[in-house]
């Protein structure tokens, strides 16, 4: 009896553990919108120096991204040819780091708040094109270089398009010409290759101007210019644009393969003359007796109108959150907004979410409620800071479910893609019925969290396959590439880069499952398990394959001794897939990484990466004897890696998939073959027949196969419609 009670208690404890307590309703913007959108604000000096006590707590609690209202504009940060003023910007960045915020830089190249001398030589004569380009490069390199790895996104060019969609006749344009924009992006990318780079402008909702900006972004992308995103400034009026137009604008830009941010959101409640419809900072107007109607406060009816407008916009942003990154308000409280002085000086505007006393306005509560309602309708109960649950469970020992039978090729009715993202150091799953259109099964949220599965708190390079037992075998690299920034290590990597190269991680994450929900897990240190290997610097990119000769699952992966050069090695695993049982042996001299093997007509086709290009070798034995081809296999011009293949079920076609990490934003590329000799280029995701419905920029992926019943089971479990 006692035993039974104890057993019941244990069961109760376990199920209490499995069922987390109902999360509290979020009360701050960043919690309410996490993990779908970052929410931020532009800060003035008093705010980031924490002298402004009115907004100090508001900022810390509500925002996870910030923009500098003025301190990174040219006139402030470089007031003279050889004169830089970094102090305010240093403080701005330090504030963002202290609060773990995504830090934006605004803005490198703009016609406004840029001193006249920038465009003139020492005698006051206009600079030549070359001299102005050199000055621009110097400015960008100095500023972006100073905050490299700390400022995560830059407005590279601000407001280069005129209201009619033509190029704005700025000094930049007049002296340098059309390509000043491309040059600015190139310079910024040189200075910090990891930073996100944006084109930023106002009134992109207006058709003529939008057309001009879309053409510009298209041209930049086609020329391979590293642009990641577009900032819609979002200086709204109380009655325009409509939410529908806003939605269309976001979609139009996202369709070009750039992320869309709202970079300077506010809603002007004061009357405007039609001439002054824009956010052109050079536009000014004289006030008259009717132009400042809300000197003594915003009437209740207007408060409600403003709240409704904000709610409608945030609804649109949530609906497009897969294409967006962040929503940044241009200011915090109504007492400190540029709209008190623009376009008419000295008025009393009310465009933000907190009033002049620092009290949240009805608009604040409306924005909060929009996220809470949206989460309840779309993703189950509102959570505070916890992202959408991963939907998987780690188990100590994996048991084969009753009645489970290993499917044969004829039983398969769909595809499963595993991929990862740098932003989350986590891996994801996407499914497809036809092998062309893939839907992330957790709606673009992680399933395999590096924080839980890896010693470095990051996972990369996931590979999935099925064994002859029908189980799913998932192998991943244990590595966090932002470990220092995340406070996990003191140095960029565990050991010095000069000695051991990039990454220098040595554990492989091994997981096995029969149903994709219950997973066994092991984090296996290759170096300590096999001291005979000597001082390996790095072990990564594991893949699994069944070796029919040995009747065992085999893991093959890349190893590097010293800082450079690497080859592919193999070892056999235990049946439970928790460890390598045999000492890793050389599989092929690749002088490269990411080996992937496909058995085909009695041979083994090996793809791998070397010199950022996909290469190929072939052998009649699995574990050696590969004959290498000299040429690049993939059709891309930019860097590629991580080749894997999958078969188009019911046909004789195979797809070779690779990570086009040189693309901006990065993407996956595909080529099709029937003989592993001739390939047809299918292009990248969302540029041809291969499509994603609810995620972008997957990295380093692999595909395996599912039965129709398995597809249905995951669709039900993760509540995802798989068309
Ligand atoms: C504004 C600032 O808020 C003011 O403090 C400053 O006096 C002028 O500039 N579009 C932009 C921002 O890209 O940089 C502008 O910021 C607002 C319009």
Query: pLDDT by residue (tens digit) across 173-206?
Result: 999 999 999 999 999 999 998 899 999 999 999 9
Tokens found for residue 304: 């409600």
Average pLDDT across the chain, whole number: 91
Shortest-distance Cα residue to atom 5 of ligand 1: 338
Q: Is the CB of 69 within 6 Å of ligand 1? A: yes
159 assigned to active site: yes
pLDDT at 289: 66
> Is the C-beta atom of 594 inside 6 A of ligand 1?
no
Give me the torsion for CA of 38, 46, 139, 190, rounded to 10°.
-30
Statement: residue 514 has pLDDT above 80: yes
The sign one gets for the Cα dihedral 54, 57, 62, 66 is: positive
- If you measure from the C-alpha of residue 278 to the centroid of ligand 1, how many angstroms do you get, rounded to a whole number? 13
Cα–Cα separations (whole angstroms), residue 321 to 39, 81, 173, 230, 665 = 12, 42, 34, 14, 16
Catalytic residue among 186, 246, 264, 710: 264
The answer, yes or no, to whether residue 11 has pLDDT greater than 50, is no
pLDDT of residue 9: 40
pLDDT score of 60 more than 90: yes
Ligand 1 atom with the shortest distance to the CA of 330: 3
Query: What would the pLDDT profile of 107-149 be if each residue is shown by its tens digit?
Result: 999 999 999 999 999 999 999 999 999 999 999 999 999 999 8
> Cα 271 vs. chain centroid, distance in angstroms?
39
Percent of the chain with pLDDT over 70: 93
pLDDT tens digit sequence for 531-541: 999 899 999 99
Residue 655: pLDDT over 60: yes
R_g (Cα) of the chain, nearest Å: 28
Cβ of 64 less than 6 Å from ligand 1: no
Q: Report CA(33)–ligand 1 centroid distance (Å).
A: 26
What is the pLDDT confidence band of residue 273, given thresholds at 50, 70 and 90? low
> Does 263 contact ligand 1 (Cβ within 6 A)?
no
Q: Judge if the beta carbon of residue 646 lies within 6 A of ligand 1.
A: no
Strand-pair partners of 522:
510
Choice from 69, 77, 88, 351 to test ligand 1 binding pocket (greatest atom count within 8 A of CB): 69
Q: How close is the Cα of 265 to the center of ligand 1, in Å?
A: 12
Q: Is the peptide bond before 486 cis (omega within 30 degrees of 0)?
A: no
pLDDT band at 379 (very low <50, low <70, confident <90, very high): low
What is residue 213's predicted lDDT score, i.e. its pLDDT?
Answer: 98
Residue with tokens 């620092």: 358
DSSP state of 408: P
The length of the chain is 723
Instruction: Name the active-site residue from 69, 159, 543, 605.
Output: 159
Q: According to the model, what pLDDT value does residue 17 have?
A: 37
Quick one: tokens of 542? 């594991």
Determine if ligand 1 sits within 6 Å of the CB of residue 104: no
Name the closest-CA residue to atom 4, ligand 1: 338
CA distance 28 to 396: 38
| Interval between CA 160 and ligand 1 midpoint (Å) | 15
Residue with the two structure tokens 């996909």 = 614
Burial 34-68 (b: 16+ CB within 10 A, else e): bebbbbbbbbbbebbeeebebbbebbeebbbbbbb
Please tell me the distance from the alpha carbon of residue 669 to that of residue 547, in angstroms, as a whole number: 28
Q: How many whole angstroms from 209 Cα to the centroid of ligand 1?
A: 20
201 CB within 6 A, ligand 1 = no
337 lines ligand 1 (CB under 6 A): no
Atom of ligand 1 nearest to the CA of 281: 18
Q: Which atom of ligand 1 is nearest to the CA of 263?
A: 13
Q: How high is the pLDDT of residue 4?
A: 42
pLDDT tens digit sequence for 252-268: 999 998 999 999 999 99
**Distance from residue 290's CA to the centre of ligand 1 (Å):** 25
Q: Is residue 541 a contact partner of residue 643, using CB atoms and an 8 Å limit?
A: no
**pTM for this one?**
0.58
Lowest mean pLDDT among 106-120, 154-168, 326-340, 489-503: 489-503
Judge if the beta carbon of residue 76 lies within 6 A of ligand 1: no
3-state secondary structure 584-597: CEEEECCCCEEEEE
Ranges of beta strands (E only) in 382-471 are 393-394, 412-421, 426-432, 437-440, 448-449, 459-466
Per-residue confidence band for 1, with pLDDT thresholds at 50, 70 and 90: very low
Which ligand 1 atom sits closest to the C-alpha of 159? Answer: 13
């Amino acid at each position: 009896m006692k035993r039974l009670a104890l057993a019941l208690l244990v069961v109760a404890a376990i199920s209490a553990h499995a069922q987390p307590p109902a999360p509290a309703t979020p009360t701050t913007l960043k919690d309410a919108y996490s993990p779908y959108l970052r929410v931020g604000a532009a800060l003035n000096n008093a705010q980031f120096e924490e002298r402004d006590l009115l907004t100090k707590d508001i900022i810390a609690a509500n925002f996870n991204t910030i923009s500098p209202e003025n301190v990174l504009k040219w006139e402030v940060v470089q007031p003279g040819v050889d004169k830089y003023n970094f102090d305010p910007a240093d403080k701005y960045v330090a504030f963002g780091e202290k609060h773990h915020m995504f830090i934006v830089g605004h803005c490198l190249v703009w016609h406004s708040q840029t001193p006249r001398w920038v465009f003139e030589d020492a005698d006051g004569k206009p600079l030549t094109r070359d001299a102005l380009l050199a000055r621009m490069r110097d400015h960008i390199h100095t500023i972006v270089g100073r905050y490299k790895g700390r400022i995560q996104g830059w407005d590279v060019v601000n407001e280069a398009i005129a209201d009619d969609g033509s190029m704005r006749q700025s000094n930049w344009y007049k002296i340098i010409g059309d390509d000043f924009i491309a040059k600015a992006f190139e310079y910024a990318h040189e200075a910090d290759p990891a930073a996100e780079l944006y084109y930023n402008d106002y009134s992109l909702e207006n058709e003529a101007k939008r057309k001009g900006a879309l053409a510009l972004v298209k041209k930049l992308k086609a020329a391979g210019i590293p642009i990641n995103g577009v900032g819609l400034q979002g200086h709204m009026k109380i009655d325009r644009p409509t939410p529908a137009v806003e939605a269309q604008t976001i979609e139009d830009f996202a369709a070009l393969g750039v992320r869309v941010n709202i970079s300077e959101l506010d809603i002007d409640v004061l009357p405007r003359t039609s001439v002054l419809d824009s956010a052109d900072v050079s536009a000014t107007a004289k006030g008259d007796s009717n132009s400042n109607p809300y000197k003594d406060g915003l009437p209740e009816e207007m408060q409600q109108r403003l709240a409704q407008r904000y709610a409608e916009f945030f609804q649109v942003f949530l609906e497009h959150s897969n294409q967006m990154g962040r929503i940044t308000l241009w200011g915090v409280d109504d007492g400190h907004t540029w709209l008190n002085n623009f376009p008419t000086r000295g008025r009393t505007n009310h465009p933000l979410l907190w009033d002049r006393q620092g009290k949240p306005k009805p608009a604040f509560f409306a924005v909060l409620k929009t996220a809470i309602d949206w989460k309840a309708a779309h993703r189950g109960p509102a959570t505070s800071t916890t992202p959408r649950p991963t939907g998987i469970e780690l188990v100590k020992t994996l048991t084969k479910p009753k009645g489970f039978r290993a499917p044969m090729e004829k039983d398969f009715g769909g595809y499963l893609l595993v991929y990862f993202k740098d932003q989350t150091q986590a891996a994801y799953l996407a499914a497809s019925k036809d092998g062309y259109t893939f839907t992330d099964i957790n709606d673009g949220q992680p399933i395999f969290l590096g924080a839980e599965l890896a010693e470095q708190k990051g996972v990369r390079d996931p590979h999935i396959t099925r064994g002859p037992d029908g189980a799913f075998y998932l192998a991943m690299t244990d590595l966090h590439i932002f470990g220092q920034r995340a406070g996990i290590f003191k140095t960029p990597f565990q050991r010095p880069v000069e000695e051991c190269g990039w990454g220098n991680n040595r554990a492989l994450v091994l997981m096995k499952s029969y149903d994709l929900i219950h997973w066994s897990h092991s984090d296996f240190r290759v170096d300590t398990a096999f001291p005979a290997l000597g001082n390996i610097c790095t072990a990564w990119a594991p893949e699994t394959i069944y070796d029919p000769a040995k009747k065992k699952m085999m893991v093959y992966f890349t190893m590097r001794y010293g800082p450079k050069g690497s080859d592919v090695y193999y070892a056999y695993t235990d049946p439970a897939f928790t460890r390598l049982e045999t000492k890793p042996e050389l599989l092929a001299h690749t002088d490269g990484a990411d080996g992937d093997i496909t058995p085909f007509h009695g041979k083994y086709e090996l793809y791998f990466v070397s010199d950022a290009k996909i290469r190929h070798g072939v052998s009649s034995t699995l574990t050696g004897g590969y004959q290498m081809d000299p040429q690049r296999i993939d059709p891309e011009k930019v860097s590629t890696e991580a080749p894997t293949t999958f078969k188009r079920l019911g046909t004789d076609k195979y797809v070779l998939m690779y990570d086009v990490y040189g693309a901006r934003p990065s993407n996956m590329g595909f080529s099709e073959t029937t003989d592993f000799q001739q390939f047809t280029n299918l292009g990248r995701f969302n540029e041809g027949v291969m499509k994603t419905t609810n995620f972008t920029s997957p990295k380093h992926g692999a595909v395996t196969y599912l039965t129709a019943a398995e597809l249905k089971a995951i669709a039900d479990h993760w509540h995802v419609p798989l068309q």
